[in-house]
A and B are shown apart, each in its own frame.
Chain A
Amino acid sequence: MSDVWGQLFDFRDYGALLPLVANSLLAGAVLGLVGGMVSSIVMMRDLPFAVHGISELSFAGATGALLIGAGVVAGALAGSVVAALLIGVLGASARSRSSIVGVLMPFGLGLGILFLSLYDGRAANKFGLLIGQIVSVDDPQLTAMLVSGAVVAVGMLVLWRPLVFASTDPEVAAARGVPVRALSIAFMVLLGLAVAISVQTIGALLVLSIICTPAAAAFRVSANPRVVVALSSAFGFTAMVGGILLATGSRLPITPYVTTLSFAIFVVCAGVGAWRQRHGWSRARALAPSSRVAEPATT
């Protein structure tokens, strides 16, 4: 038992190890923040399944790149942006989106497994793209991740208001002149970039823990869109950076630490949300009996 515990958490030589994970920490911090922003919109548009589909194609792209000797980063990016665009263009309605994702996902996973089997590089890294890396972000990879992260962050900030409008109320948004369709495609591209960064850190199978769970947790505790985004980013950041810090020293992938932290945050938020539903919000409601507000507000 203590043996397992020792494997899970090992803080000997922690000071010496920390510098080695500096790159991962930086990449994780950026991913946590950006993933939190993106996941808010993912939840509003009901895209978690699409995120999963995109990550499998990103995995195929990354392993394909590994096989032919091109960069993993470029491969992951190419795979996820192509998948995101396909889903965005072919899956305008929820139903057609689900079916196109359902079709793409196993195809992507199968391709990735094929490429991995053909590839005879370092065995340790072999499944990293699927289930997460141990601790390995090299400098060029870090640069690529930071640049993609910055592009996503800036894109999200610029598109924010019309994107939220189009995500929550597409009809009225269109009537108000919001380019609903173009925004949807633009968001899919940003989502593709964010997924590509995630695949390289926590693995294709677990992307949802950073591009879905943080916002799902934030939605439980607030309905204020600003608070939701801030919380979601904070949750993503905590899960990623906390996960990496806990994993440092053990020789396990960061993934289980990140997913567990992320899930724990969700559980706490769900509890708080359930409590608030019963106590906090109902008080405001009690002030507004519908018959009284029916009267003209004469001034």
Chain B
Amino acid sequence: MARPVADREEVAVADPVLELRDASLSYGSRTLWSGLDLQVRPGELVAVLGGNGTGKTSLLRAVLGLQQLSAGTMQVAGHAPRRGDASIGYVPQQRRIDSHTPLRVRDLVRQGLDGHRWGIGRPGRVRWDRVDAALAQVGASAYADMPLSLLSGGEQQRARVAQALVGDPSLLLCDEPLLSLDQSSQRTVTELVDRRRREHGTAVLFVTHEINPVLPYVDRVLYLAGGRFRIGTVDEVLNSEALSALYGTRVEVLRHGDQVLVAGAPHHVEHHAAPCVHEDEDVAR
């Protein structure tokens, strides 16, 4: 099951797509994290873990230019973060699309291309070819003309990934894209993201509460807890010593093959829900 992670020699030489130096983020007097140094290189997949309210979404918002850092600097593709940066693809924290949304799957994907432009878009000029290519990338071509609201949660999520990819981003931000998906859909979405960064060198920040589905693909982990953080490979961060030091209390990390179980982390129960079972691959194929 485990696949080789990105070729480190190759990515080490490329300029980082995302670079934070001594960065802090506060809302008023409340500091979410501070002193954060992070470099994400092309093709690298960094999982962002941490309990509710530790500032994962806020980190993505800062990268998107929607939230100011309270200290430190950040560079996205060589420049300061700015709103509407076309080099970033964004998959938001999941929310079901309701039936008052008169969009087909292809319309949602198209929004990633020209939804921010004024006017109605000249009918002959719409880049449906790029929309179709993005839909094919995520394997959603078969229901391109379906109303979004009729799709299952997993299918909607795939459409959102296509929307994020259609602009050919060099950085992909995914905010809990696995939420409320079953194991097979979780694996599908993770594989889509993994394939994208392999084939196109897109750097990925992947916020998740479920470590296990992404574990085989993750290059590094950014673990946020209580205003502090830890960055490193899976082995460096997801072990009892590191997390105990981070939380300041005894935390057990159990590893079993491709599965990780974090036990005893305060205010942080989401991981435990991940069932420690071996997924029967053959059934899904």
A binds B: yes
Whole-angstrom CA separation of A284 from B142 in the bound complex: 7
Q: Does B120 contact A (CB under 8 A)?
A: yes
Whole-angstrom CA separation of A222 from B285 in the bound complex: 34
List residues 157-186 of chain A with CB under 8 A from any CB of chain B. 157-162, 164-165, 168-169, 171-178
Chain B residues within an 8 Å CB radius of A173: 111, 115-116
One digit per residue, 1 when the CB lies within 8 angstroms of any chain B CB and 0 when it does not, for chain A 55-66 equals 000000000000
In terms of DSSP, what is the predominant structure of the interface of chain A?
A: helix
List residues 255-283 of chain A with CB under 8 A from any CB of chain B. 277, 281
Whole-angstrom CA separation of A287 from B284 in the bound complex: 17
Whole-angstrom CA separation of A173 from B142 in the bound complex: 26
B158 and A293 within 8 A (CB): yes
Chain B residues within an 8 Å CB radius of A162: 115-118
Tally of contact residues, A, Cβ under 8 A? 43
Chain A residues within an 8 Å CB radius of B154: 290
List residues 98-142 of chain B with CB under 8 A from any CB of chain A. 100-104, 107-108, 111-112, 114-121, 136-137, 139-142
B119 and A160 within 8 A (CB): yes
B140: nearest residue on chain A (CB-CB)? Answer: A293
Chain B residues within an 8 Å CB radius of A164: 111, 115
Given contacts A160-B119, A165-B116, A177-B84, whether A44 and B146 have CB atoms under 8 Å apart is no
Given contacts A219-B100, A223-B104, A294-B188, whether A176 and B112 have CB atoms under 8 Å apart is yes
Q: Does B195 contact A (CB under 8 A)?
A: yes
A294 and B143 within 8 A (CB): no
Complex partner residue of A169 from B111, B152, B155, CB under 8 angstroms: B111
Q: How far is the CB of B192 from chain A (nearest CB, A)?
A: 9
Chain B residues within an 8 Å CB radius of A177: 82-85, 116
List the interface of chain B (C-beta within 8 A of A). 64, 66, 82-85, 88, 90, 92-93, 97, 100-104, 107-108, 111-112, 114-121, 136-137, 139-143, 145-150, 152, 154-155, 158, 163, 184-185, 187-188, 191, 195, 284-285
5 additional A-B pairs beyond A161-B117, A223-B148, A287-B142, beta carbons within 8 Å, are A168-B111, A172-B112, A288-B155, A291-B184, A294-B188
